[in-house]
Structure 1
């Protein structure tokens, strides 16, 4: 059921984009110019305008339906409820030398030269 509603939702989104792009521009970008539609009491409703409202209402209905379906399918607990208080214990890798709990690099041998010499 969720897949059917999701496919309808995606088709509505594409149709809504197409209908909006087909509409005639009013020319009043950022409130400049145009004038006719904004001054008159009500603009004439065109077929594309009615189709836009219909598709937008159907898009919102499918969005709400998908939200309800997702809420029903979700687990009853939060992700935070699944986290335990005890940290995960990691086993030591036998290939690595045991350095203890120190995060510092191992100390250099006092007699070893700092710069390797070519011999």
Structure 2
């Protein structure tokens, strides 16, 4: 069932791309293209390609929602670790030992030995 909806979804996506590319550019955003003589009206007449675009867009959104719902139902209650077949590692309750206060401080001059022996 999911594969059929996915194939229909892909066909709708390709059809929507094709229909949008077939439409004439109105060019209102960048001030170019379009044409159309006479007075500019506030609302353009709906063409057959425009109606087909709306139909394909609505069908595309419906298949997207359907695929999302199917994927959510399939994945509910399982984790990736369960799908791999392994078990989740158990959390250890041991607490690491804290360093003493002297380990946190930089070494003092008395603690450091000279790197080069002094010549007597």
Under a length normalisation based on structure 2, what TM-score does the superposition of the two structures give?
0.59
CA-atom RMSD, angstroms?
A: 2.8
Q: Distance in 2 between matches of 1:41 and 1:20?
A: 21
What is the deviation of 1:40?
A: 2.4
* Offset of residue 57 of structure 1: 0.2
Distance 1:43 1:83 in 2: 60
Q: In the alignment, which of 79, 82, 89 is matched to residue 84 of structure 1? A: 89
User: Residue 17 of structure 1: CA displacement?
Assistant: 0.4
Aligned to 2:109: none
Aligned length: 84
Larger Rg: 2
Shift of 1:42: 1.3
Q: Structure 1's 35 and 84: CA in aligned 2 closer, same or farther, altered over 3 A?
A: farther
Unpaired runs of at least 5, structure 2: 82-86, 93-120
TM-score by length of 1: 0.59
Q: Which residue of 1 aligns with 2:2?
A: 2
Q: Deviation per CA, 1:43-93: give whole Å up to 9, x if none.
A: 10000000000000000000000000000111414559x753548xxxxxx
- TM-aligned CA deviation for residue 26 of structure 1: 1.2
